[in-house]
Amino acid sequence: MPAMRPAPPPTTRRPLSSPGVPASRDAQATLPEVAALVRECAGPFQEAALLDLAEMLEACAATPGSCLWFIGD
């Protein structure tokens, strides 16, 4: 039976601007997409989550060299 390799840790380091890790320049480009999604929300919880995301993206866009890390399922 082949040896099983352990899964990588959930917080493995990825280069900036890789999928799922918006850097400051990517954050600015993503803000209009988030605004469009807010207009299509199905409920207040989705809207609140997108508004929180927009706030984090704005802070990231305003801070050169910064990035956001999303951890979860």
How far apart are alpha carbons 53 and 73 in whole angstroms? 16
Q: Is residue 2 part of a domain?
A: no
**How much is the pLDDT for 73?**
56
- 4-14 pLDDT, tens digit per residue, is 555 444 444 44
* Domain count for the chain: 1
C-beta separation of 53 from 34 below 8 A:
yes
Q: Tell me the pTM.
A: 0.63
Q: Is residue 14 part of a domain?
A: no
Q: Is residue 17 part of a domain?
A: no
- 12-21 pLDDT, tens digit per residue, is 444 444 555 5
Q: Is residue 50 part of a domain?
A: yes
The domain in which residue 33 lies consists of 24-61
Runs of H (alpha helix) within 1-73: 24-39, 44-61
Q: CA-based diameter of the chain, in Å?
A: 53
Q: What residues of the chain score a pLDDT lower than 70?
A: 1-22, 73
